[in-house]
Homo-oligomer: A and B are copies of this chain.
Amino acid sequence: MAARATPATDPLAAQFAAVRALSTALAAPLSDADATVQPMDDASPAKWHLAHTTWFFETFVLRDHLPGYRLHDERWPFLFNSYYEAEGARHPRGRRGMITRPSLAEVIGWREHVDAALLAALDRLPPAARDLVTLGLNHEQQHQELLQTDILALFAENPLAPAIWDAPRNRPTPVPDPIRWIEGRDGLAEIGHDGAGFAFDCEGPRHAVLLHPHALADRPVINAEWEAFIADGGYGRPELWLADGWAWVCRERIEAPLYWRRIDGKWHQFALDGLHPLRPAAPVSHISYYEADAYARWAGARLPTEAEWEVAAAGQDPASGNQLDAAGPVRAKAEGVHRVGLHQMFGDVWEWTASAYLPYPGFRPAEGAVGEYNGKFMSGQAVLRGASCATPRGHSRASYRNFFYPHQRWQFTGLRLAKDA
């Protein structure tokens, strides 16, 4: 009788169990309604994230690699495919919030069904299918971060400003020293994933790049500095902005980062643990590329390129810093009052870079439907590097390329300055 893979005997089973459990834990404080409503086209309901990640395993692993597997419900793939054209027609993205049924409980039931089926089958799966499991887990970690930011976007729509997590005790933190410039390496270097361990297709191939003399700030820009930018009229001076950014500021009447609210003359920030006075020492988050670029111009600096960032980060531990360890409140935190070298490269906030999200030399998308994972998004977006307070620890890498459109800011997005040396 075949032994079944268990977390004790198969590290992939252990990883699978842990990642899947974290998703459910992140949704634990949500009501059925909280998990169902879609706050905007860019954001998906929490229930959808829980279902879509399950669809990924059921479709690309169980359906494709487990002979005789029957779909839990044949009608659900239409609802929970995201954008895979090769998988056929699907529910329109902007209508995901209309799906009140299946309920959150039914989706969690689906998760349990698929989890059991996959764990039962894990040790019989061919290596290609096990690679898809690993891809699915990394995919699910991405959706864990989105689940948190999408729920934040939803709750921010509610005038009652509900909190799903208790706020941790707020120890006042001293404002860190001004930024210091750390010279980067120049000349020829290599970036991109080197082949050991998992990486998304867009992180390779590893290739040589030419770096020009430059320096990076030793920490991200913090809220206190952003308040100075606002106080100096930063949102009202077109000469600081890209033309597209200025049009966006005027059209959307942007006056501060997303989730900042001025109450009785003082800035507050809304988060999943409620509305709190702005913490001056914490890295600024929820800014668009346009805002990051304008701030850098105001500061007489620029954004780093992704190659500059990656080369600088190569020696750092990507699992360090303020990242997600367990379900609970997340927030970019003050750090580094006394510090040496580059701080907070991973964790706290994703850092906008000056680089457009484009294929590396020699890039080839993966084969099959999962080949739609990254490559088809390579236009119009900018690369972000690092990790945020909402990124599951262990998910990121120095070579990791996150990407969003320049106006988007509902993620934990911030910036680190760079300059020519």
Q: Which residues of A contact B (CB under 8 A)?
A: 31-37, 39, 75, 78-79, 83, 85-86, 91, 95, 97-104, 154-155, 157-160, 162, 188, 207-210, 212, 238-239, 241-246, 289-290, 293, 302, 354-356, 358-359, 361-362, 372, 376-380, 406, 420
- Copies of this chain, whole number: 4
- Identify A406's interface contact among B188, B238, B380, CB under 8 A: B380
Q: How far is the CB of A152 from chain B (nearest CB, A)?
A: 13
Q: Judge whether A376 and B97 touch: CB under 8 Å.
A: no
Distance in angstroms from A414 CB to nearest chain B CB is 18
Complex alpha-carbon distance, A380 and B380, angstroms: 5
Q: Pick the contact of A75: B83, B159, B210, B378 (CB < 8 A).
A: B159
Are A100 and B154 touching (Cβ within 8 A)?
Answer: yes
Contact A242 B160 (CB under 8 A): no
Q: Which of B79, B212, B379 contacts A293 (CB 8 A)?
A: B379
Q: Provide the bound-state CA to CA distance between A32 and B34, in Å.
A: 9
A157-B85 CB under 8 A given contacts A242-B376, A379-B289: no
- B379, A103: Cβ atoms closer than 8 Å: no
Cα of A101 to Cα of B238 in the assembled complex, Å: 30
| Nearest 3 Cβ contacts at the A-B interface | A356-B356, A98-B157, A33-B36
For residue A210, which residues in chain B have a CB less than 8 angstroms away from its CB?
188, 208-210
Given A241-B376, A380-B244, A100:B207 Cβ within 8 A: no
CB distance from A137 to the nearest CB of B (A): 24
Cβ 8 A contact of A95, one of B97, B157, B243 = B157
Contacts of A101 in B (CB 8 A): 31, 33-34, 158, 160, 162
Evaluate contact between B378 and A242: CB separation under 8 angstroms: yes
State how many angstroms separate the Cβ of A298 from the closest Cβ of chain B.
14
Residue ID in chain B nearest A153 by CB atoms: B98
Which residues of B sit under 8 angstroms from A160, Cβ to Cβ? Answer: 75, 79, 101-102
Q: Name A73's closest neighbour in chain B (CB-CB).
A: B160
Find chain B residues with CB under 8 A from A293 CB: 379
- Contact status of A242 and B377, CB under 8 A, knowing A32-B33, A33-B104, A103-B31: yes
